[in-house]
Chain A
Amino acid sequence: MKILFWIFLFSLLTGCVSQPVKKDMSAFIASAPRSILVVPIVNKSLDVEAPNYVLATLPMPLAEKGYYVFPVNTTKFVLEQEGYYEGDRIHNEPPAALAKLFDADAILYVTIHRWDAQYAVFSTTVTVELEYRMVYKDGTDIWNEKQKIAYTPQNNSSGSALGSLISAVISAAVTRTAPDYMTLTQQANREVFLLSPNAPPDGPYKTAKIN
């Protein structure tokens, strides 16, 4: 029982610890954006589905952070009407021109660097690596972050060796058919925007609610 207690205590201490290095937020604070335009994602991974997961899961944490987030699907639609279909091309456009087109204060650019599953004998590890960059409407970089999350389904079987072998095989098979990329992406975005010490400061709608 005592050992259990110490395990709990230890897990409490380590549970939320992130890197203590805090980045300089002065550029972000000085520009004080109210609205954020999330433009289509640049995908450097081999998974064609990856940008859909990432784009769909960005508005929620940013809006809950207190910013007005431009509707991502409407943004995509408007850009397509203007002839911009590729994330790469949009990311290379001058930010000032994009911000002006949407009347946005800041633009969020997200690039997917890794999005894959490594199949080992007994388990599967799913890895997602994302890079975030926020630019003010005058073209100044105001915030950036990299996030890498790896997930391996746990096998808690404490029975015979054969038992754990079977459960590992089942677990790998399940992950093989449907890795839970949605939860993983939500987790990555939440970490970056809400939990990390380098998360952007709260936006106007959040601070207004607190005061």
Chain B
Amino acid sequence: MSRTVLFVLFVISLTGCASNYGLYQWGGYENDLYAAYKDTTQVEKLRVNLEAHTMLMEKNGQRVAPGLYAELGTLYLQSGAPAKAIIMYKKERDVWPESKGLMTALIQNLERIQKTKQEVKI
């Protein structure tokens, strides 16, 4: 039995069960999200990485994976930046038609709150 055949079989055994991931890039979302749940000081890292990842995807003309824009939007909202949240929710809605109902509800809700605040100021 030649070594080459053994090597080929070995390579096949390594790749045989590989899952066909490959529709999207996630930029470490799984690990960052878990880390943020475990330790709230890591939320910042999740936000920064999502910012960098979505910007990179846009730059390369690649579709941002489902939910990532919205997750970033929610992190903006929780850190007190609703205007930035609205921008991200709109991006999610435009890229993923399935998200339209939820995103529209979130956007309208935030816009209503902002409007009320402005009226109070006047």
Establish whether residues B22 and A64, one from each chain, have CB atoms under 8 Å apart when the complex forms: yes
Q: Which of A49, A59, A205 contacts B23 (CB 8 A)?
A: A205
Establish whether residues A69 and B66, one from each chain, have CB atoms under 8 Å apart when the complex forms: yes
Q: A72-80, A109-117, A128-136, A155-163: which one contacts chain B? A: A72-80
**Chain B residues within 8 Å of A63, by CB:** 23-24, 65-67
| Chain B interface, >50% SS class | helix
Instruction: Tell me, yes or no, whether A35 is within 8 Å of chain B by CB.
Output: yes
CA distance A117 to B9 in the complex (A): 34
Establish whether residues B9 and A5, one from each chain, have CB atoms under 8 Å apart when the complex forms: yes
Establish whether residues A60 and B10, one from each chain, have CB atoms under 8 Å apart when the complex forms: no
**Chain B residues within 8 Å of A143, by CB:** none
CA distance A103 to B10 in the complex (A): 47
A/B pair count, beta carbons within 8 Å: 115
Establish whether residues A57 and B30, one from each chain, have CB atoms under 8 Å apart when the complex forms: yes
Establish whether residues A68 and B99, one from each chain, have CB atoms under 8 Å apart when the complex forms: yes
Instruction: Tell me, yes or no, whether A186 is within 8 Å of chain B by CB.
Output: yes
Q: A10-18, A88-96, A169-177: which one contacts chain B? A: A10-18
**Chain B residues within 8 Å of A34, by CB:** 98
**Chain B residues within 8 Å of A190, by CB:** 19
Establish whether residues A77 and B68, one from each chain, have CB atoms under 8 Å apart when the complex forms: no
Q: Which of A74, A104, A105 contacts B71 (CB 8 A)?
A: A74
**Chain A residues within 8 Å of B5, by CB:** 5
**Chain A residues within 8 Å of B68, by CB:** 71
Establish whether residues B23 and A2, one from each chain, have CB atoms under 8 Å apart when the complex forms: no
Chain B residues in contact with chain A, CB under 8 A? 1, 5-6, 9-10, 12-13, 16-17, 19-24, 26, 29-31, 33-34, 37-38, 65-68, 70-71, 73-75, 77-78, 92, 96, 98-102, 106
Nearest 5 CB-CB pairs, A to B? A103-B101, A71-B67, A68-B98, A52-B37, A35-B98
14 A–B contacts, CB within 8 A, in A order = A5-B9, A49-B38, A56-B31, A59-B30, A59-B66, A59-B67, A60-B26, A71-B67, A71-B71, A73-B33, A102-B102, A194-B19, A194-B20, A205-B23
New A-B pairs, 10, CB < 8 Å, besides A1-B1, A105-B98, A205-B23 = A12-B13, A15-B16, A15-B17, A56-B30, A68-B99, A71-B67, A73-B71, A78-B106, A190-B19, A206-B23
